[in-house]
Structure 1
Amino acid sequence: MTRIRDDFNQRTKNDLALRAGYLCSYCKRSTVGPSDERPDAVAMIGIAAHICAAAPGPGARRYDPNMTPEERSHIDNGIWLCASCSVLIDRDQERFSVEVLRQMRRDHEASCRLGDNGSEAEGDLVAIGSDIVAVGHILGSGPAGMRVRLSHFVEGASRDLLALVHEFDRQLPEKRYILMNELGYGGLLDGAPNVERMGSAYEVQFRLQQTAPRRDATAEAVGMCAETGRMISGMDAYIQNFERALGMARGTWFARIRDGSDLSDLYWRYKDSPWFKRLAMMEMIRLSSIPSIKKCAHGPSTPFACVNRVNRVEVPTFELEGQRLNLRVEFDIEGLGPWSGELSVFISTPEQLAKGRASARIHHENIQRIEAESRNDLL
């Protein structure tokens, strides 16, 4: 069947809502709130509206025949509105032109930037496994483990959280983790977490395994500078390792196809959004806390092997310099204590990501086939 509307997918709708803080980009009113139907019910009146119409025809405002279907369904062609304002804007094309709506979205998202210090009510990000990211805060910690309250989900949903608990033993070991921006660290779960619904929120109690051994940064570390070819040592070598780990996109290295960083994907999804620095911080926590999938003769190790805690991440500008994004970070380094500096991270384009992953997948599958044939020959 021929597609007649170039609609947004669910992820794009979620991203538009998050970038707008669930506030209408025009009237600034909230588009989500409690419903009286049930104690845990939520009323949503927000709409991921097209700036240029998704299809031609009567009433299709600002339709651009020169756009491709991909451009019409891209997040750049969207704006988050309440139901009333979406109708108003689609009844007055002269007043609400394409340029006016794009500027409206830019201004609104800029006004929604999160402050440096989130309040307890606002909370911070908590990741549970690779598919769940929620806004929440820590309730307490003791011999029984830690307890966090999740107020709403950024990635995934409550059903994914409950599925993780019930299918915990079937999850890949490297995906059984919790990361907490509020503390700047995380770790592998010692067992399935306990989940309770508390009104519209969820409380999660869990215990973490012992952390992977840390590498003392005062010990000699050497490497070759990727730009000059000269030998570097100390923090210069560690900084280069941080940049390499963040710049190697997940799924683009055929030898370890599940390893890598999500920073490039996060950049293109949340560019110019207040969510990016929090999600970038969470990615650095993952790289410092969760052991790599590879088997190491010296035991489990993380890509950021000398980082005990990620204390802060700042994004001075989203502008790339030669495909590099500059980040300011504050880490707690084993052997050195608090350290702050700048990282220059390579950001792959969406086209490079798609091409690199396709190529890596082909090579990976070929290697697996050759290894399987070799094993069969030995039988």
Structure 2
Amino acid sequence: MTCRHFGACGSCSLFDLGYDAQLVSKRGELEALLAPFYKGEIALHPSPQEGYRARAEYKIYRDEGGLHYAMRHLDKRGFVLLEECPMVSPAIEARMWRLLEAANGDEELGRRLFGVEYLSATTGEVLVTMLYHRRLDEAWEARARELAERLDAKIIGRSRGQKVVLQDEYVTEALEVEGRIYRYRHYEQSFTQPNPAVNSRMIGWAMEQARRYGRGDFCELYAGAGNFTIPLSTLFGRVIATEISKRSIQAAKENCALNGVENIAFVRMSSEEFTEALEGKREFTRLRGIDLAGYDLQTVLVDPPRAGLDEGTRRLVSGFETILYISCNPHTLVRDLESFGATHDVVQASLFDQFPYTPHMEAGAVLVRRR
């Protein structure tokens, strides 16, 4: 990827390294971190080098020339006014500059606009959230509907205490994994994987490892909207998945229906609550109708936030025969691996380059109970 803003825009801090060199550097760093636990080869899963990002958020900057997209400067002193952004998906690229032109030419659309968020899908669908420092009225809604039609996009307007949804508030993603298409509703301002191509590879990797090392019934913690759960459910008889977000649980159930999946029980509870339920310390009405004792839970997948697993969840996870760990922060992954070292061995590891041109890494590790 080439971009005229390399070296200035803070979004791409590895601008001075070619893409292949970035991957070599990242793998070296991950190898060093995992060295106490894993001596095997770390498989690399590269990203497309441009048009890879399905989500983007831009500040709107105003000057005498009008409205501009802006990103924080690499040195964090001020902003860079963007003239291009080749990392975003083609679906976003095809609309973002036309939207900015419309906002510059229409007082209703541009007045007190301070940010724009984009969410796209491989199907070509795009959801746009326009953020304002003013109350949105019928005049804005009329202009926004016209804009949505011109852009062939879904638009949501937000201001303090106000949310105006003009069409749906989600896009429908379609990911091909192992020759099958899986469909997902991705809702506005909910967590979704930002890089669809790498996400497909992560899911495929998880399925390959589950097929090789998985046992018994399957459990997933931090399940989100079913990104991993739904494809992996095809490999197990019974599946239970937990997620704390009410919106994500709603989306996960909708996604099960979209994919014709019926063997997953999605439960809205934290990992701490689920630990208490499995240990018989508390009863939860949210588990009514679910016979936890009837599950033979031996395989677990965790995809926690950057903070990794808390102590209670580490205790819970250590009870499984097979652990599939997806990590967006290898440093907390290492901390958690230390807690599993007495009982489990790391048998596979991979690096998924979700965030090209940045130092961030997504890692995958498979742990199997030591015999």
TM-score, length basis structure 2: 0.24
Q: Give the number of the structure whose alpha-carbon radius of gyration is greater.
A: 1
TM-score, length basis structure 1: 0.24
